[in-house]
Structure 1
Amino acid sequence: MREAIFEELLARYERQLRSRIKATGIQLDLDVSDEGHTTLSYAQLRTLTLADPSATATVVDALRFLHENAFHPEAEETGNWWHWEIGTPRILLDICVLLRTQLPESDLKDYLAAVQWFCPDPDRRVKSGPWSPLSETGANRADKALIVALSGLLAGDADRVALARNGLSPLFEYATSGDGFYEDGSFIQHDTVAYTGSYGVVLLTSVGEILALLRGSQWEVTGPGVSVVFDAVEKSFLPFLFEGRMMDTVRGRAIARQHSRDRDIGAATLDAIRVLAESAPASYVERWSALRRPIGFHVFGAMERVVHHRPRWSAALSLSSERIARYECGNGENLHGWYTGDGMLYIYDLCDPDHYTDEFWPTVDPYRLPGTTVDTRRREDVGRGSGRGTGAITAPNRVSGGTLFDGGFGTAELDLHGEGSTLRAHKRWHFLDDAVVALGTDISASDGRRIETIVENRNLRADAGRRFVVDGVAQPPDLGIERRHLSVQWAHLEGVGGYVFPGGVDLMALREERTGTWHAIDVGVSTEGDEVEVRRVFHTLWLDHGISPRGAGYMYVLLPGASEEETARRAAEL
């Protein structure tokens, strides 16, 4: 029989669980064909448990089926380790908490034995029994600590709860390499990936739940190091939130997940902060209650990201080098992420905060991401097939990062080495009060292919008639017609902003309706996108540097939210 303290903490976790997960009706369809579908089957049972109190008998029978046929100590850990050691155990324990007064003791004992076999310690990774020398870090460690804590509470094992609490300690120290929070606010997972908006949110959620769960008990998490996580709310997470959306620049391969978009992760981040506030000192909670975008320029040197917030718009820049991955693929996710770390520039505007939320990733041309300079070679999907494991693709360059100036402005630069290409370029951006200035020099290649710099690729939704003006002349809104505008001084796209080209450039423009599916960029077992075609109109602007250029360059000024008149005036001043 569990002591009262265990039951009190389990009841507390149940309240957290019910407030966190919104349950809806579900058609139960258990699938144990692989480890990913097994996890999804447990997730269906959790939803059913929350949605229908009368379904207890069905859930109990289904749990027995899954235990006998998929998740038990004798099962061989195949495929993606995460499902065995984190995904399934976490959801199974949630169900056990919800049904703890109705679940037969022998069943609970069986399920805890399976959980403890695959997740015996927050620190280590297990592969079919033997200990792995790999020590868990970041979000994975936080998840395992929560699993160990819950299994200890359900088993009435005080030592196991203490093991979970103690397993958090490395998360309360700033990292100097590899995974974790850095003093400059960066968060890295998988050694080289900027992951604040994915694994970072997972860590914040799990740590917040453990702190709240154990608060006031003999296992309460204390010590000055906990401030690393409390401080991360403002240092690491807030700078990447725009109108409740988590910026894609720090979401890694998760950008390809149909049911986990920037708005969803933004909501999850705010929810995690709410839970964390239950355990934070009053001084933190007071500040968090009035969170706002931190106006100014922010450099996250350890993960090579910069963010620039202005009153009505924000910009984020993704860079890469031998230290930080240009993109991550794997598990069948992010099949077309080739250029997302090659200087992709995200512009967010209060007038159109859903630009990236609204089917952007399945429909955008992945060869023409704004801000990038690219070799136009055709690329193969990455991470397709069985998709086991992950792959973070770094670059050979060393120069990449940003510098903050007085007044809240800054600059960033990148020595670009094209992947699988001889393309080389030096790229620089200056972030000002009302503009972003982009410059490129020494653009060279020798592969016999065309090189382009992408100025803009804007999702116009279904608005094919959006006004586009070049040097004061409105252009026909014809779809699918590629146009070259000679010696352009400035251009303006209605509802987006202005573009100024000092000295004039030959500007390429294309307005097209693009069709795509989420399945084309994500075939992951537990995240697979559907094959429903979605259509969006995009307006693309780019500079053509020609075939195998030598010493080419560019300069243009982005004026987010500027009117046509303001753009023309700025062009006349330059």
Structure 2
Amino acid sequence: MREAIFEELLVRYEQLLRRRTETEIAEIQLDLDVSDEGHTTLSYARLRTLALAGDGSTDTIVDALRFLHENAYRPDAEETGNWWHWEIGTPRILLDICVLLRAHLPDADLTRYLATVQRFCPDADRRTKTGPWSPLAETGANRADKALIVALAGLLGGDSERVALARDGLSDLRDGRTNSLFRYVTSGDGFYEDGSFIQHDTVAYTGSYGVVLLTSVAEILALLRGSPWEVTDPGVSVVFDAVERSFLPFLFEGRMMDTVRGRAVARQHSRDLDIGAAALDAIELLAQSAPASYAARWKTLERPDGFHVFGSMDRVVHHRPRWSAALSLSSERIARYECGNGENLHGWYTGDGMLYIYDLDDPDHYTDGFWPTVDPYRLPGTTVDTQRREDVGRGAGRGTGAIMAPNRIAGGAAVEGGFGTAELDLYGEGSTLRARKKWHFTDDAVMALGTDLSASDGRRIETIVENRNLRADATRRFVVDGVAQDAELGLERRYHGVQWAYLEGVGGYVFPGGADLVSLREERVGTWHAIDIGVSTEGDDVEVRRIYHALWLDHGVSPRRAGYMYVLLPGASEEGTARRAAQL
């Protein structure tokens, strides 16, 4: 009787596995590389794709699994390099293959593979690899991933105690629920009551690790529903509530906002649109296990209107009917950016007040080649020291690192009417740059202000008003104080006492009291490889070309107590921008 239950659940998981996996068999080369742990994981991933294709290559896959076992992933192998591949990446994929091929896989082979998984992922509670942190309790997405691995191993091995161990790992019964996925945290990794989600202790990660956690939990709930191991922890409501509290505010037209994707923004094959689709898929699956009241609301999900503060991770989001804005801040609590594993080599200023503007008329602005081509020194909203920077995370080992800031002031507050304000006490990284930066979010505008802006390093300081990805369109109309400007590429122009400017298809910019504005329309050429050389995520060397229009305020060399003020009018017309300038 128990064997029938195991098989029933394995059939259910196979259906879950196939629901969201597209196979592109023509692109798969059976080139097994075991030169390091990352390439080993990629080799298993190729085999999973072949297994999903179901094209009669079963014998080839069985032989390849034996090769990988004998030469790379076996119980007596030393866990070197990045622990994730050994304890999560490879075992998850290996077990997926075992589920898909369970009718064709010899019992002796399955026994060996399960023993290997047991060696590197015996439970969801602890990191197996030893180090200065040992013993390290697993948290957040890593715990959720490991719980699914343990559940699959238990089902494949007919081990009911192991399946129960996986279920209990979600709630962390081993350590008195300290690291339960079904409770709110007040520090470290997990969901916070204000909707924030943090992984790696200090990184805003709703749109990366958060989606991984949501997906794994949804799959476990669906897999074990109605079985002797069904998840009954009432705290699971934390995950159900997170759909509207944590994930929905960061979705724009199906895209997951980059402000909560950490180093994953540098991954060529993990765009905001891809992760948004993964989040929506996880929500759809989660609805099968959620109470009817949740599922009914999720069927009609829309962007929440108004201003939202995620104080625990230094993020704010402002939604209007036709546009949205997201602001990335940092502090002594939340990292400026995360790098490592060869990823996000140019993330220097992403947490220094980068302001994302999403427009219904241009939803693909960040999706379409933005990160490999944007000037990383001129991210909208930031105030920067123009020093040249070295790649971060290159040649610094295979771990990840969060770059922190010393300031305490970073965050926002909602005000009546669905509007809000945010503030950042900026300390330049590797610089004497200091500034007090503020933003006010209203019905149709974002006002940006800077005060006490000073530096003493002998370098020029800039505040970036805009840096818009125009794709291949070099002819967009640009107007300054009512006068259309030449659209010649590569020519930097300086304007004095500017009252307002307008960029066709983007919106308007108003400078109360006038400002000295610098404008540059240029073609930028980059590659994904230049920002991501990770073993399992490495970008290619194919040149990506995009036209950008950048606007910035030049504060001069080593400014003392400088300031600025400008108003962004997303989606505004030229005439509307002129009218607003006349009112201010």
Q: TM-score, normalised by structure 2?
A: 0.97
Match of 2:141 in 1: 139
SS at match of 2:134: strand
Given that residues 443 and 553 in structure 1 are in contact (C-alpha distance below 8 angstroms), is that contact kept between their aligned partners in structure 2?
yes
> Which position in structure 2 is the counterpart of 1:288?
298
For these two proteins, the number of residue pairs brought into alignment is 574
In structure 2, what is the equivalent of residue 5 of structure 1?
A: 5
Deviation at 1:476, TM superposition (A): 0.1
Q: Distance in 2 between matches of 1:440 and 1:179?
A: 32
> Is it true that 1:65 corresponds to 2:67 in the alignment?
yes
User: In 1, Cα distance between the equivalents of 2:251 and 2:519?
Assistant: 31
SS in 1 for 2:181: helix
8 A contact 1:315–1:345 mirrored in 2:
yes
Q: Deviations over 1:371-391 (max 9, x none)?
A: 000000000000012641000
Map 1:292-311 → 2, pairs under 5 A: 292-311=302-321
Task: Give secondary structure in 2 for the equivalent of 1:507.
Answer: strand
Residue 458 of structure 2 corresponds to 448
Which whole-Å CA distance do the structure 2 matches of 1:500 and 1:536 have between them? 26
- Contact 1:77/1:128 (CA < 8 Å) preserved in 2? no
SS at match of 1:226: helix
Match of 2:245 among 235, 255, 262: 235
Alignment deviations for residues 152-185 of structure 1 (CA, whole Å, 9 cap, x no partner): 0100111100000000010000010000000000
Aligned to 1:552: 562
Q: C-alpha distance in 1, partners of 2:533/2:328?
A: 24
> Which 10-residue stretch deviates more, 52-61 or 319-328?
52-61
Distance 2:474 2:539 in 1: 26
Correspondence for 1:40: 42
Residues 150-165 of structure 1 aligned to structure 2 (within 5 Å): 150-165=152-167
Does 2:472 correspond to 1:462? yes
Match of 1:19 in 2: 19
Letter in 2 for 1:50: L
Residue of structure 2 in register with 1:166 after alignment: 168
Partner Cα separation in structure 2 for residue 108 and residue 479 of structure 1: 61
Paired residue for 1:366? 376
Shift of 1:128: 6.7
For 1:377, the equivalent position in structure 2 comes to 387
**2:176: which partner in 1?**
none
Three-state SS of the structure 1 residue aligned to 2:325 is strand
Q: In structure 2, what is the Cα distance between the partners aligned to 1:141 and 1:130?
A: 20
Task: Determine the C-alpha separation between the residues in 2 that align with 1:43 and 1:358.
Answer: 26
Superposition deviation, residue 130 in structure 1: 12
SS at match of 1:191: coil
Contact 1:329 1:391 in 2 (8 A): yes
Give the structure 1 partner of residue 86 of structure 2. Answer: 84
Asked whether the 8 Å contact 1:462–1:537 carries over to 2, the reply is: yes
Equivalent pair of 1:321/1:399 in contact (CA under 8 Å): yes
Once the two structures are TM-superposed, the CA of residue 274 in structure 1 deviates from its matched residue by 1.1
The question of 1:29 aligning with 2:31 is answered yes
Counterpart position of 1:436 = 446
SS at match of 1:275: helix
Q: What's the CA shift for 1:24?
A: 1.7
CA contact (8 A) 1:76 1:128 kept: no
Deviations 1:31-77 (A, max 9, x none): 10100000000000000011134000000000000000000001010
Equivalent residue letter for 1:338: W
Change (3 A) 1:239 1:469: same
Moved more, 126-135 or 155-164: 126-135
Q: Which runs of 5+ in 1 are unaligned?
A: none
What is the alpha-carbon distance in structure 2 between the residues aligned to residue 20 and residue 480 of structure 1?
A: 44
Q: 1:276 aligns with which of 277, 286, 292?
A: 286
Among 485, 495, 520, the residue aligned to 2:505: 495
Q: Distance in 2 between matches of 1:556 and 1:128?
A: 52
Partner of 2:177: none
Q: Which residue of 1 aligns with 2:574?
A: 564
**In the alignment, does 2:325 pair up with 1:315?**
yes
Partner AA of 1:540 in structure 2: A
After superposition, give the CA deviation of every residue in 1:294-338 in whole Å (9 maximum; x if it has no partner). Answer: 010000000000000000000000000000000000000000000
Q: Distance in 2 between matches of 1:350 and 1:364?
A: 21
- CA offsets, 1:183-222, max 9 Å, x none? 0000000000000000000000000000000000111001
Q: Which residue number in structure 1 is paired with residue 490 of structure 2?
A: 480
Distance 2:511 2:66 in 1: 67
- Distance in 2 of aligned mates of 1:130 and 1:294: 44
Q: CA deviation at 1:223?
A: 2.6
Q: Does 1:389 align with 2:391?
A: no
SS of 1:124's equivalent in the other structure is coil
Q: Deviations over 1:79-104 (max 9, x none)?
A: 00000000000000000001111100
Partner AA of 2:574 in structure 1: E
Q: How far apart are residue 29 of structure 1 and its match?
A: 1.0
Please say if 1:350 is aligned against 2:360.
yes
- SS of equivalent to 2:135: strand
Q: Aligned AA for 2:563?
A: G
1:495 & 1:352 partners in 2: Cα distance? 8
Tell whether 2:179 aligns with 1:177. no
Give me the TM-score of the superposition, normalised by structure 1: 0.99
Is the contact made by 1:118 and 1:129 (CA closer than 8 Å) also made in structure 2? no
For residue 99 of structure 1, the aligned residue among 101, 110, 113 is 101
Closer, same or farther in 2 for the Cα pair 1:253/1:141, shift >3 Å?
A: same
Q: How much has 1:2 moved relative to structure 2?
A: 6.5
Give, in whole Å, the separation in 2 of the partners of 1:127 and 1:322. 29
Distance in structure 2 (CA, Å) of the matches to 1:132 and 1:560: 50
CA RMSD of aligned residues (A): 1.2
* Cα displacement (A) at 1:28: 1.2
Q: Distance in 2 between matches of 1:242 and 1:32?
A: 40
SS at the partner of 1:269? helix
Partner residue of 2:411? 401
For residue 320 of structure 1, give the secondary structure of its aligned residue in structure 2. coil
Gap change, CA 1:130 and 1:114, over 3 Å in 2: farther
* Distance in 2 between residues matched to 1:91 and 1:428, nearest whole Å: 46
Deviation, 1:20, is 1.6
What whole-Å deviation, never above 9, does each CA across 1:515-568 have from its counterpart, x for those lacking one?
000000000000000000110000000000000000000000000000000000
Residues in 2 aligned to 1:546 and 1:17: alpha-carbon distance in whole angstroms: 56
Question: Which runs of 5 or more structure 2 residues have no equivalent in the other structure?
Answer: 172-179
2:342 paired with 1:332: yes
* Selected match of 1:262 from 272, 281, 288: 272
- SS of aligned partner of 1:447: coil
* Distance in 1 between residues matched to 2:395 and 2:401, nearest whole Å: 13
Residue 520 of structure 1 corresponds to 530
AA in 2 matched with 1:63: L
Structure 2 Cα separation of the partners of residues 131 and 484 of structure 1: 53
SS of 2:567's equivalent in the other structure is strand
Structure 2 residue 512 is the aligned partner of structure 1 residue 510: no
In structure 2, what residue type is equivalent to 1:545? H
Matched, 1:204 2:214: yes
Counterpart in the other structure of 1:543? 553
